[in-house]
Structures are given as structure tokens and as C-alpha cells.
């Protein structure tokens, strides 16, 4: 595979020009694109720091690096062919040791991601033109605190440890605008909306809202809330919380669209490569790599596979619907390709799968649900007629941010004692106990006062409290 000599930058530029012709012909609309050729050690470094050329230091990235390197050294997992950053211009890395065919394939794949970043609604607010710079500035701020003799690296990492633990606890529905505190107050103070059915049922008594309550509405952005409402934090601590929050906000759209995005890039590299009239040797090598990328992972879920299959299926349903589909859905109102472009703009994994993962596709891919039994994973349901919906539900719950529990701050002045009251919105899934307890410690660390946490454990309501005496747990 060491093919350093078999291609040079001129070759890449030649293929890039040809690929870009196709990109435009197919109607993809991309940001500008930059490629950096790197070696495998640099690639490991980029992966550990989420691909960012500049990123603040934290020991967990060292852990991530060691883990990736171990897996790579032992051949458990190879390195990705590509790594693309949602930025304008988009930035992607090419591994020096890859063959020419892999480079061409990667370049084609990268344009798919690039187009997706630019057009999918989830990425609207990520400000790609500033992304790299923002990461760099944040890194400089964190380094500044670490080098400040009155703060130091250890104190910085302590806050970051806690911030990382909570960084995914933020608003799940980013499409709905968050109201300012003042707007929330106005909304609460407004007269209750007229109930059109007030004559036929008993009217709920209107309670005068407490406009001084904080927060007025249950709050999901935990880091931001603490940064704003814990007045005992130092400015640098507040800033670190905001930094962790901003980074999470930047990466969440990628987590929310993993299947769509990888499927989309795979769909397009496939289209582009097939339209390029590659020399036979290159084409055969391409097919081998392509099949490796989109092959199903037995027992697991390969997002490339799932996404690739679904995009193709959507197109087929609009271009060549079966009799049964015609009967069920009527004649398609647009061409397959138009539908694809519409979906790539308006969906995220959850809605994408909910809308387009059909019973037939589930059966074709043999999707099944598994549960842990002892130290084994055992199939609990397969996608047969009676259970495919359940398997699908389970899948939807594990996709994107659905894999993160919803936790809301209900009261920041619980018992008029500035204690923090949180509630886990239980959806049938219990929290992992050890992780819950350890994370509460971080909450306590950042809040500085007693933290109360309400959840369900095996269908029973349980409230944890964390304060200077440590953790306590009581029913009810």
C-alpha cells in the first residue's frame, strides 16, 4: 500500500479537476475545498482532536490518541481514508501512504460531505467560515488560563473534566428558537389562551406564575445555565464552560446526521467514480474499497452501509416505484434525484430513518434488536412482520442526540437555598448508575451547592442528592 511514489500532487490536481466537473454536473453545491496530505501519525493526531488543526489541550485527547494508536498498531481498526471538517473552505486530510485510487475515491467522497455540510439545515448555525479560527482562539484562551500562574493547568483541567461530562446536556430541539429570560417572563405573565372547550369540561384553574423563578422554563443547556447563574464562579471558569458548550454545539449537527451524511458522501463518491471512465485497474481497485466502506458490519451498524442503502432506496422509490408502492403512495410527485436533494436539506438521522426506513429495507438489511445478557449480546427481536416497528423504534432511540438522556434544570433555588434541582425526563430507559453518580459530583463541583437529581430507577421515582457529604439516594 505504500505508494508514495505512485502519485504526486499534480495527479491529485488532475483528478480533482475531473471530479469537480462531475460535482457541478450532478448539481452538488459545495464550499471551497482544501486538502492536506498527512502521514498516519498526523492523522491519529487530527482524529484525537476531532480533526481540528488547532484545539485546546486536555488529557482526554491524549487518552483518545493512545486508544486510536493502540487499535491502529494492533490492526484492530485502520485509519479512515478521509476526515473532513465542516468549515468554509472545507478542510480534509489525505493520507500520504494511500494509493492513487484511494486518494481519488476520498476526494470524491469529501465533496459529498462538503455539499452536505453546506446544505443540510442542521449546519445552518455552525458558522463554518469562522470554525477553524474559533477553535484556534478558544485554544489560545485555554492555554492562557493554563499558563496563568494564579490558575494553572491542573485547575483548568478540573473544570474541563466537569464541563466535558455535561457538554452534551444541551437543547435537543435546536430548530425551535430559545426564548430569552425576558421573553419567557412575558409569555408566563400573558393571559392564558382561551380554551375553546371551556364549556364542556372543567376549566383548569389558572395559577399566577412566579416570575422570579429561575429558570422559568425547564432548562436543558446545563453548562450555559451554570455559567450564567452561578455567581461564585471565576471569569475563567465561566469562560471554560462556555468554550465546552460552544464546541459541543459545533459537533452536535454532525452527530445528528451521521447516517445521512456518510450515506450521502458514499452515494456521491459512487456516482462520481462510476462516471469518470476510470482505467480498468483503478476501477477494480475502487470497487474493492467501495465495498469495504459500505459493507455491513455483522452484529453492528455501519452508518455508511445504512445511509448508502437508504439514499438509493429513496431514489428508486421515486424513479421506479413498485406496483405496491404506487398503490400505497400514489404516483411520485418528483424525480428521485430531486427528492434526494430535498431530503439532504431538510432531515436529520432521526427523521430520515423515521420517514424512509421501510419494513422492506429493514428486512433486506436484516436489522435486529439485541440486548445484553451477561457478557453476551443476544438478539431479542428481528424485523419480521410483527416486530419490525419495535426494532425501528429502538434504532431511532439510539440515533444522534437520542442516545443522550434529556435532563432539565427545574429550579436553581430549590428550598430557597440556592440548591440545584434537576429532573431526568425518563423515556423508559434508566440511567447508568455509576456514571450518574460520578456526573453528579461534577455538577456539584460546578454549582457549589447541593444538587438534587430526580429520575426513575426500575419504574420507581428516586431522588439523588449530592453535597459536601457526598451522595445520598432516596425513594420518591
Beta strands in 152-205 (DSSP E): none
Which residues from 78-107 bind other proteins, rule CB under 8 A? Answer: 89, 96
**Interaction of residue 32 with other proteins, rule CB under 8 A:** yes
Residues 290, 471: Cα–Cα separation, whole Å: 51
Which residues from 44-63 bind other proteins, rule CB under 8 A? Answer: 45, 48-49, 57-63
Given the rule CB under 8 A, which of 123-131, 229-237, 340-348, 403-411 is the region that contacts other proteins?
403-411
Which residues from 157-176 bind other proteins, rule CB under 8 A? Answer: 157, 161, 164-169
Residues 460, 439: Cα–Cα separation, whole Å: 21
We find the least distance from the C-beta atom of residue 394 to other proteins, in angstroms, to be: 5
Site string for other proteins, 123-162 (x = CB under 8 A): ----------------------------------x---x-
We find the least distance from the C-beta atom of residue 423 to other proteins, in angstroms, to be: 12
We find the least distance from the C-beta atom of residue 454 to other proteins, in angstroms, to be: 13
**Interaction of residue 249 with other proteins, rule CB under 8 A:** no
- Contact between 265 and 344 (Cβ < 8 Å): no
- 3-class SS at 453? strand
We find the least distance from the C-beta atom of residue 211 to other proteins, in angstroms, to be: 30
Residue 350 CB contacts under 8 Å (≥ 6 apart), including other chains: 256, 396, 399, 400, 402
Interacting residue with other proteins among 21, 24, 234, 389 (CB under 8 A): 24
Which residues from 319-348 bind other proteins, rule CB under 8 A? Answer: none
Ordered DSSP codes for 70-102: HHHHTTSS---SEEEE--SSEEEEEETTS-HHH
**Interaction of residue 460 with other proteins, rule CB under 8 A:** no
* 280 backbone dihedrals φ, ψ, rounded to 5°: -55, -45
We find the least distance from the C-beta atom of residue 336 to other proteins, in angstroms, to be: 24
Task: Find residue 91's DSSP bridge partners.
Answer: 34, 85
Residues 118, 116: Cα–Cα separation, whole Å: 5
C-alpha to C-alpha distances, 67 to 42, 78, 84, nearest whole angstrom: 15, 13, 21
Q: Decide whether 266 or 439 has the Cβ nearer to other proteins.
A: 439
Interacting residue with other proteins among 303, 340, 412, 450 (CB under 8 A): 303
**Interaction of residue 398 with other proteins, rule CB under 8 A:** yes
Given the rule CB under 8 A, which of 42-50, 123-131, 211-219, 466-474 is the region that contacts other proteins?
42-50
Site string for other proteins, 352-381 (x = CB under 8 A): -------------xxxxxxxx-xxxxxxxx
C-alpha cell at 408: 432539565
C-alpha to C-alpha distances, 273 to 81, 127, 193, 288, 313, nearest whole angstrom: 16, 31, 58, 13, 20
Residues 408, 406: Cα–Cα separation, whole Å: 7
Q: Give the end-to-end CA distance of the chain in Å, rounded to a whole number.
A: 61
Given the rule CB under 8 A, which of 125-133, 199-207, 279-287, 437-445 is the region that contacts other proteins?
437-445
Site string for other proteins, 257-286 (x = CB under 8 A): -xx---------------------------
Residues 388, 105: Cα–Cα separation, whole Å: 35
Amino acid at each position: 500500500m505504500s505508494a508514495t511514489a505512485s502519485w504526486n500532487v499534480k495527479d491529485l490536481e488532475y483528478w480533482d479537476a475531473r471530479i469537480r466537473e462531475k460535482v457541478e454536473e450532478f448539481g452538488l453545491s459545495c464550499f471551497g475545498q482544501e486538502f492536506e496530505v498527512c502521514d498516519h501519525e498526523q492523522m491519529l493526531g487530527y482524529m484525537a482532536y476531532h480533526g481540528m488543526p488547532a484545539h485546546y489541550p486536555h488529557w482526554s485527547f491524549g487518552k483518545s490518541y493512545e486508544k486510536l494508536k493502540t487499535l491502529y498498531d494492533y490492526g484492530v481498526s485502520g485509519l479512515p481514508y478521509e476526515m473532513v471538517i465542516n468549515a468554509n473552505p472545507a478542510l480534509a486530510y489525505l493520507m500520504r501512504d494511500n494509493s492513487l485510487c484511494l486518494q481519488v475515491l476520498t476526494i470524491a467522497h469529501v465533496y459529498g460531505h462538503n455539499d452536505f455540510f453546506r446544505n443540510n439545515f442542521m449546519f445552518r448555525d455552525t458558522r463554518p467560515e469562522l470554525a477553524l479560527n474559533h477553535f484556534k482562539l478558544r485554544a489560545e484562551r485555554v492555554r492562557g488560563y493554563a499558563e496563568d500562574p494564579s490558575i494553572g493547568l491542573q485547575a483548568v483541567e478540573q473544570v474541563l473534566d466537569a464541563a466535558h461530562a455535561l457538554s452534551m446536556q444541551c437543547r435537543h430541539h435546536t430548530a425551535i428558537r430559545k426564548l430569552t429570560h425576558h421573553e419567557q417572563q412575558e409569555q408566563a405573565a400573558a393571559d392564558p389562551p382561551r380554551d375553546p372547550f371551556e364549556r364542556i369540561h372543567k376549566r383548569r384553574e389558572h395559577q399566577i406564575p412566579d416570575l422570579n423563578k429561575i429558570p422559568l422554563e425547564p432548562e436543558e443547556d446545563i453548562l450555559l445555565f451554570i455559567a450564567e447563574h452561578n455567581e461564585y464562579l471565576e471569569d475563567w471558569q465561566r469562560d471554560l464552560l462556555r468554550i465546552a458548550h460552544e464546541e459541543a454545539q459545533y459537533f452536535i449537527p454532525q452527530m445528528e446526521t451521521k447516517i445521512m451524511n456518510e450515506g450521502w458522501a458514499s452515494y456521491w463518491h459512487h456516482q462520481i467514480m462510476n462516471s469518470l471512465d476510470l482505467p480498468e485497474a483503478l476501477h477494480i481497485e475502487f470497487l474493492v474499497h467501495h465495498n469495504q466502506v459500505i459493507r455491513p458490519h455483522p452484529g453492528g451498524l455501519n452508518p455508511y452501509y445504512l445511509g448508502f442503502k437508504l439514499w438509493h432506496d429513496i431514489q428508486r422509490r421515486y424513479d421506479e416505484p413498485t406496483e405496491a408502492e404506487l398503490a400505497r403512495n400514489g404516483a411520485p410527485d418528483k424525480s428521485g434525484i430531486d427528492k434526494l436533494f430535498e431530503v439532504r436539506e431538510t432531515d436529520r438521522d432521526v427523521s430520515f430513518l423515521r420517514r424512509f426506513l421501510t419494513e422492506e429495507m429493514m428486512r433486506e438489511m436484516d436489522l435486529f434488536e439485541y440486548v445484553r445478557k451477561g457478557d453476551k449480546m443476544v438478539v431479542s427481536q428481528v424485523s419480521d412482520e410483527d416486530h419490525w416497528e419495535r426494532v425501528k423504534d429502538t434504532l431511532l432511540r439510539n440515533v444522534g442526540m437520542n442516545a443522550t438522556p434529556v435532563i432539565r434544570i427545574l429550579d436553581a433555588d430549590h428550598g430557597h437555598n440556592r440548591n440545584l434541582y434537576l429532573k431526568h425526563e425518563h423515556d423508559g430507559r434508566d440511567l447508568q448508575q455509576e456514571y450518574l453518580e460520578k456526573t453528579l459530583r461534577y455538577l456539584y463541583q460546578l454549582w457549589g451547592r447541593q444538587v438534587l437529581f430526580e429520575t426513575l430507577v426500575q419504574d420507581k421515582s428516586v431522588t439523588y442528592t449530592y453535597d459536601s457529604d457526598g451522595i445520598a439516594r432516596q425513594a420518591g
